[in-house]
Amino acid sequence: MSQLTFKTDHEHPDLQTDANGYLFDPRIREVLARQGRNVDPGTEALAAVRILGKKLHVTMERWAERFGLSEGRFQILVRLKHQPTGRFAMGELAEMLDVSPRTVTGLVDNLERDGLVKRVDDPSDRRSVYAELTEHGRERIETLWRETTGVQAALTHGLKESELIQLRHLCLRLIQAMGVEEGKSHATS
């Protein structure tokens, strides 16, 4: 199993521990103080989630590049791997990945060029086209999937099961709250 490597950022201080034993990022507190804002747990938590999301995205992109893929192409292969038929309509893939149909078309173009995916017409609806995993694509994603699960295990190794469940729960609660806020802004626009 390969280990993920992170570029060390020497310009910023390391994380610190508060009086209650919880980690915090002094850079975030410094920025808030410069802006004349109060340091509040909500702002710090959302900043930490944003930083984590960005680091996960960058790490995933670098990891996928080692295999000649982008994160988007890898995500399509994963979706197809877990679909019993090995195929999805292009529009369904766009919805799942929360990207435009045009973006999915470009990603599938690259996967098709590499022989990992092929386009298949829907015999019952001439307007619908499926992306289908090829045998070569299935072999590639199986290899990548085994390594991915090892990397995920390494990232979460130091966390207790209860902490992982709490992390999942809190992330999903934030997603729910974002959905509510999006609903409010759509209702007023």
Report the share of the chain in percent with pLDDT over 90: 64
Question: Per-residue confidence at 91, pLDDT binned at 50, 70, 90?
Answer: very high
pLDDT range class, residue 129, cuts 50, 70, 90 = very high
Question: What local confidence, expressed as pLDDT, does residue 2 receive?
Answer: 34
Least confident residue range of 77-86, 106-115, 119-128:
119-128
Of residues 102 and 59, the one with the higher pLDDT is 102
Q: What is the DSSP string of 56-98?
A: HHHHHHHHHHTTT--HHHHHHHHHHHTSTTSEEEHHHHHHHHT
Calpha distance 99→73 (Å, rounded): 12
Average pLDDT of 145-158?
86
Average pLDDT over residues 49-76: 89
The lowest-confidence range among 40-44, 68-72, 83-87, 150-154 is 150-154
Single pTM value for the model: 0.71
Domains of the chain listed by start with CATH number: 1-49 (no CATH), 67-184 (1.10.10.10)
Of residues 10 and 151, more confidently modeled: 151
Q: Are 118 and 132 in contact (CB under 8 A)?
A: yes
Q: What one-letter code names the amino acid at 166?
A: Q
